[in-house]
Amino acid sequence: MDIPNWYELILLALAAWRSFQLISDDDILDRPRRYLLRLGEEWEKDGDPVPDNYRFKLGEFITCPYCAGFWIAVTWWVSWQIWPHATLVVAVPWVLSAGVVAASKVLSRD
């Protein structure tokens, strides 16, 4: 079993962070997230009544950085253990996307 050097570790960490953000928070996956959690199309925002068949535990898991974030990071690390070069090549667009998201959050504070 190998241990990533600092450069690989940063790439894997940023790719894992961006993957978690995409799954838990980004608007582009709202529709699949609603379907998976059984929220339905009528649910709009916090404060709206939650449907009876809402998957509460799954919703908590998906949005928890300690839960889903851990398993996403483990997935990136195991992938790197099996295919080191290919995983880093795949991680680079995720890292670039993480930089764009971070920059947009910093710039939108003004």
21-78 per-position pLDDT tens digit: 999 988 898 888 878 887 766 666 666 666 677 787 888 899 899 999 999 999 999 9
How many CB atoms lie under 10 A from the CB of residue 64? 13
pLDDT at 57 (0 to 100): 85
pLDDT at 31 (0 to 100): 83
Q: How confident is the model at residue 103 (pLDDT cuts 50, 70, 90)?
A: very high
User: Residue 73: CB partners within 8 Å, gap ≥ 6?
Assistant: 12, 13, 16
pLDDT at 109 (0 to 100): 79
pLDDT tens profile 2-21: 898 999 999 999 999 999 99
Q: Where are the domains of the chain?
A: 6-107
Predicted TM-score (pTM) of this structure:
0.83
pLDDT at 79 (0 to 100): 97
Token couple for 14:
């940023």
CA 10 → CA 7, 24, 60, 97, 106, distances in Å?
Answer: 5, 21, 27, 14, 20
Asked if 21 and 101 touch (Cβ cutoff 8 Å), the reply is yes
> Phi and psi (nearest 5°) for 4?
-70, 145
pLDDT at 64 (0 to 100): 92
Asked if 14 and 95 touch (Cβ cutoff 8 Å), the reply is yes
CA 48 → CA 25, 44, 64, 84, distances in Å?
Answer: 18, 7, 21, 45
